[in-house]
Amino acid sequence: MQFLLWKRLNSVCAILRKMNKLPLKFILMKAGQMAVGVATQGARSVGPDTQGVGSELRALRKARGLTIAELALALGRSVGWLSQVERGVNEPAIKDLRRAAEFFGLPIGFFFRNDDAPADERGIVMRAASRRPLGNNEEGLVEELLSPDLSGGYEVVRSVFAPGASLSERVTRQTEELGYVIAGTFEMEISGTWFHLEPGDSFRFKEEPYRWRNAGDVEAVVIWVISPPVY
Q: What percent of the chain has pLDDT over 70?
A: 77
pLDDT at position 224:
96
Q: What is the pLDDT of residues 102-148, one digit of tens each?
A: 898 887 777 777 667 788 888 888 888 888 888 877 779 999 989 88
Q: pLDDT grade, residue 8 (50/70/90)? A: very low
Residue 210's DSSP bridge partners are: 171, 190
pLDDT at position 51:
55
pTM confidence score: 0.65
Domain 152-227 -> CATH class: mainly beta
Q: What is the pLDDT of residues 12-23, one digit of tens each?
A: 444 444 445 455
Residue 227's DSSP bridge partners are: 176
Cβ neighbours for 185, distance < 8 A, ≥ 6 positions apart? 196, 197, 198, 214, 215, 216, 220
In the chain, domain spans = 2-112, 152-227
pLDDT at position 56:
82
The H or E element spanning position 35 is helix 24-39
Q: pLDDT grade, residue 200 (50/70/90)? A: very high
CATH number of the 2-112 domain: 1.10.260.40
Res 193 pLDDT > 80: yes
Q: What is the pLDDT of residues 27-66, one digit of tens each?
A: 444 444 443 333 333 333 333 334 578 888 898 899 889 9
Res 99 pLDDT > 50: yes
DSSP for 42-102, please give it: TTS---TTSSHHHHHHHHHHHHTT--HHHHHHHHT--HHHHHHHHTTSS---HHHHHHHHH
pLDDT, average across residues 81-95 = 88
